[in-house]
């Protein structure tokens, strides 16, 4: 690097004389390259023939060439030619690796060790990478118990600017832990301390595990009141052959403290009562280090949410060692409110800047409230087409002013997907879908779907403008045509149902969390090909073969505080809606259908989330008209109570007018990318029932027809904003034939 900067200074030197009068570049040459192509270097050069040669432009081009990482030296020179200069870039390449040789390795093969190396044969040699690779090999051996392993490496020159990388390994012995002893442990059984440790007897020694074990032990004591607990460096002894070791841990427990009281000093903006609400330590209880640290974060967050980003909290602990009492004084320096001077959006290439700005809850010239910044990030993620969003608070000329910089990383807003799946309801289904969440860079959403299979044919087109007329209000249009083979009672293929129509949606948002939705739908619904035993009037309680028109208006109020609508970790979604269909709207089906649903997402630890859902609804005909079978409630299958057949095993056989469904899922990540879950596991419990009449409603759980049914199971989710997939295995608890049922479906269950 020193040599590189030297050439930068040389560049500066000759440009002070050359650029006294700017000259045109008549040609550009590259010299000194052997293994790197001229085209690869030329792509990094912004200057071109005919440009005026400036010091800044030349400096940037040299830096661009250096950024390739292939060169020891890069400089430039000029040669006077007619009407200008010839610009020559001289490069000196790093040596190329001819081969990598390992010596002394017995436990690991050459192939395994080469796989750990970032340096590769036929690539350029880098001394810094060599040292990093040596450290990887040492860690690899130590993870297998070779605590005495030593690794050395150096390069030897070959002809044609090539090198051989030589790695010498002294493995030493694999060391097994013979015994672990504790000294000074008085308040807990040694077995309890031993259970905290990954380091075990008869296992190979790993220094990283032992270091983590010491932290676990210290954390355990400090979370049980032992504030002054000290853990000495472990004493390690070996047998003469250095194949076995004994570890002795010396623990000085100290006094056990209980929290006696808190005191806040220096607070003016926030009252003591407001501050005490976020203190997680409890008076009269043992001191807990984790809750103490959580309290400090909560206090800082509380002030940040008020705009006091520079507030500082300095705790003082007053100990009474004789009585074991602890008083904590929080000295607070509130500082002043930080206001936002400018907001910048960076990184967007395909999307209009206003698409992001309208999602922000912070504005220039107002206090910088941390909670509104966090919520703004959530709203940006919920657009559905961003891979990442980062926010940076930058200090400007005044300590009471700051700039906010939102750096956007755009993902793929549109995709064409095709696939096939199997569900217990629709059997084998193929799908072809075109979906775009950022049409024209304006966040318009377009969805074209074709589903085809033995029991289902579906065409669906929908378009949504989430900010109609640049107001916080969505406008949507839907057109659909669906033909489905339906189940009735225990018959899987009792009749066919054809729905065709469309609808309009309008959704004004009253606040960040609260919104209204109004939807008008016009559907032509045909019922035909009914099995003889279920056909009316042959069967008085059967199904009529008919074609009806449903013209309906649905109004709903929604409260949605979920942090991420695709994979929520906290927040709720609550909806109350009423659908009204009747002749006054131009149809010949008359009913009203209120629905109440509530979903709760409760973080437990790390990224494990408890998700709860409840949905209740009923439907009644208007003016004593009967409710058609296709508007009644049938539950079971992938989206309600898993492990039971849709419409055949839960509740009223002819479809219910009353319905209740409850779901509980405990979700946890299996695979993550960029800190976000892409593959998720879940265990679940489902409960539900339908009833033909109000008097039939029964909330008991069991096998009788009018009782609710429950099931348990587990599942895997492929999390994607565009095409989420669910794979579930459900086991029924309230039917005679108990066997696992598999479900494949798209979209979240709630």
Domain ranges of the chain: 2-93, 96-170, 176-252, 258-333, 339-410
Calpha distance 161→100 (Å, rounded): 15
Q: What is the dihedral of CA 186, 188, 190, 193, to 10 degrees?
A: -130
pTM of the model: 0.72
Write the DSSP assignment of 459-473 as a string of letters.
EEEEEEETTGGGSSE
Could you check whether 2-93 and 176-252 share the same CATH topology?
A: yes
Beta strands, E only, 43-142: 71-81, 84-93, 96-103
Sign of CA dihedral 34, 38, 41, 47: positive
The pLDDT of residue 23 is 86
Quick one: which of 234, 178, 175 has its CA closest to 201?
178
Given a cut of 70, the residues of the chain with pLDDT beneath it are: 1-21, 416-429, 720-723
Q: Report helix angle 370-381 to 289-304, nearest 10.
A: 90
Calpha distance 387→349 (Å, rounded): 13
Q: Report helix angle 207-222 to 289-304, nearest 10.
A: 80
Place of tokens 């319905």: 659
The pLDDT of residue 723 is 63
CATH architecture, domain defined by 176-252: Roll (3.10)
Quick one: which of 383, 387, 317 has its CA closest to 356?
383
Quick one: which of 662, 705, 713, 714 has its CA closest to 687?
662
Quick one: which of 654, 609, 662 has its CA closest to 629?
654
- In this structure, the number of other CB atoms found within 10 A of the CB of residue 69 comes to 9
Tokens describing residue 464: 């949504």
Whether domain 258-333 has CATH 2.40.340.10: the reply is no
Calpha distance 646→636 (Å, rounded): 4
Beta strands, E only, 372-513: 386-395, 401-410, 414-423, 427-439, 444-453, 456-465, 473-488, 491-508
CATH superfamily for domain 339-410? membrane protein fhac (3.10.20.310)
618 strand-pairing partners: 658
Read off φ and ψ for residue 694, nearest 5 degrees: -60, -35
Sign of CA dihedral 690, 692, 697, 700: negative
The answer to whether residues 161 and 146 touch, using CB atoms and an 8 Å cutoff, is no
The answer to whether residues 23 and 52 touch, using CB atoms and an 8 Å cutoff, is yes
The pLDDT of residue 82 is 87
How many helices (H) and strands (E) are present in the chain, helices listed first? 11, 33
Angle made by CA atoms 345, 349, 352, in degrees to the nearest 5: 65
Place of tokens 């065409």: 459
The pLDDT of residue 423 is 54
What string of H, E and C letters represents the secondary structure of 628-653? CHHHCECCCCCCCCCCCCCCCCCCCC
Beta strands, E only, 217-338: 230-231, 235-238, 244-252, 258-265, 312-320, 325-333
CATH number belonging to domain 96-170? 3.10.20.310
Sheet containing strand 339-346, edge to edge, reads 339-346, 401-410, 386-395
The answer to whether residues 31 and 63 touch, using CB atoms and an 8 Å cutoff, is no
CATH number belonging to domain 2-93? 3.10.20.310
The pLDDT of residue 637 is 86
Tokens describing residue 60: 């940037």
Largest CA distance in the chain: 105
Question: Cis omega (within 30 of 0) on the bond before 537?
Answer: yes
Task: For residue 6, give the H/E element and its range.
Answer: helix 2-18
Quick one: which of 475, 477, 494, 476 has its CA closest to 485?
494
Calpha distance 160→697 (Å, rounded): 88
- In this structure, the number of other CB atoms found within 10 A of the CB of residue 178 comes to 16
């Amino acid at each position: 690097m020193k040599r590189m900067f030297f050439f930068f200074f040389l560049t500066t030197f000759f440009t002070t004389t050359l650029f006294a009068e700017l000259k045109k570049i008549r040609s550009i040459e590259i010299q000194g390259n052997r293994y790197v192509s001229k085209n690869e270097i030329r792509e990094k050069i912004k200057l071109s023939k005919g440009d005026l040669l400036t010091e800044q432009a030349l400096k940037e081009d040299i830096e661009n060439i250096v950024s390739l990482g292939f060169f020891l030296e890069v400089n430039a020179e000029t040669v006077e030619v007619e009407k200008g200069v010839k610009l020559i870039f001289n490069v000196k390449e790093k040596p190329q690796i001819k081969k990598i040789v390992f010596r002394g390795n017995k436990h690991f093969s050459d192939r395994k060790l080469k796989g750990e190396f970032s340096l590769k044969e036929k690539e350029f040699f880098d001394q810094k990478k060599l040292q990093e690779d040596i450290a990887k090999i040492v860690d690899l051996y130590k993870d297998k118990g070779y605590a005495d392993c030593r690794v050395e490496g150096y390069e030897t020159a070959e002809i044609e600017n090539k090198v051989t990388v030589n790695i010498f390994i002294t493995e030493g012995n694999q060391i097994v832990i013979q015994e672990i002893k504790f000294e000074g442990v008085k308040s807990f059984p040694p077995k309890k301390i031993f259970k905290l440790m990954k380091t075990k007897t008869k296992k190979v020694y790993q220094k990283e595990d032992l270091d983590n074990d010491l932290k676990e032990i210290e954390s355990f004591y400090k979370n049980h009141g032992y504030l002054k607990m000290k853990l000495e460096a472990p004493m390690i002894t070996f047998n003469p052959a250095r194949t076995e070791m004994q570890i002795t841990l010396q623990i000085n427990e100290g006094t056990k403290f209980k929290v006696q009281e808190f005191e806040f000093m220096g607070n003016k903006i926030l009252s003591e009562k407001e501050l005490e609400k976020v203190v997680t330590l409890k008076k009269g209880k043992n001191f807990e280090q984790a809750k103490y640290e959580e309290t400090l974060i909560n206090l800082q967050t509380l002030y940040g949410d008020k705009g006091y980003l520079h507030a500082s909290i300095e705790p003082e602990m007053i100990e009474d060692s004789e009585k074991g009492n602890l008083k904590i004084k929080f000295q607070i320096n509130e500082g002043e409110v930080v206001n936002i001077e400018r907001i910048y959006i960076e990184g967007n290439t395909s999307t209009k800047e206003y698409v992001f700005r309208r999602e922000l809850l912070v504005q220039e010239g107002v206090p910088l409230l941390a909670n509104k910044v966090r919520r703004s990030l959530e709203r940006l993620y919920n657009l559905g087409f961003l891979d990442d969003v980062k926010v940076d608070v930058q200090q400007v000329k005044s300590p009471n002013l700051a700039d906010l910089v939102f750096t956007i990383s755009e993902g793929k807003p549109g995709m064409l997907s095709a696939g096939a799946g199997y569900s217990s309801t629709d059997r084998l289904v193929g799908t072809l879908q075109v979906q775009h969440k950022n049409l024209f860079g304006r966040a318009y959403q377009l969805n074209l779907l074709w589903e085809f299979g033995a029991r289902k044919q579906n065409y669906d087109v929908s378009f949504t403008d989430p900010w109609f007329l640049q107001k916080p209000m969505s406008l949507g249009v839907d057109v659909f045509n669906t033909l489905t083979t339906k189940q009735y009672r225990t018959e899987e293929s009792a009749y066919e149902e054809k729905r065709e129509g469309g609808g309009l949606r309008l959704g004004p948002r009253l606040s960040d969390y609260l919104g209204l939705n109004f939807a008008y739908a016009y559907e032509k619904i045909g019922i035909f090909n009914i099995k003889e035993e279920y056909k009316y009037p042959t069967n008085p309680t059967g199904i009529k073969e008919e074609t009806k028109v449903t013209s309906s208006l649905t109004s709903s109020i929604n409260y949605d505080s979920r942090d991420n609508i695709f994979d929520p970790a906290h927040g709720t979604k609550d909806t109350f809606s009423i659908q009204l269909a009747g002749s006054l709207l131009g149809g010949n089906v008359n009913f009203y259908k209120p629905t109440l649903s509530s979903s709760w997402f409760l973080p437990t630890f790390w990224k494990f989330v408890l998700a709860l859902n409840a949905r209740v609804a009923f439907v009644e005909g208007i003016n004593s008209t009967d409710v058609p079978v296709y508007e009644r409630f049938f539950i079971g299958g992938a989206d309600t109570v898993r492990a039971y057949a849709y419409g055949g095993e839960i509740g009223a056989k002819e479809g219910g007018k009353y319905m209740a469904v409850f779901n509980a899922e405990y979700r946890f990540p299996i695979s993550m990318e960029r800190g976000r879950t892409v593959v998720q596991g879940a265990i679940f419990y489902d409960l539900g029932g339908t009833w033909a009449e109000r008097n039939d409603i029964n909330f008991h759980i069991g096998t009788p027809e009018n009782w609710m049914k429950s099931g348990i199971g587990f599942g895997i989710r492929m999390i994607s904003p565009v095409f989420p997939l669910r794979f579930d295995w459900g086991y029924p608890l309230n039917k005679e034939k108990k066997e696992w049922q598999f479900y494949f479906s798209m979209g979240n269950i709630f």
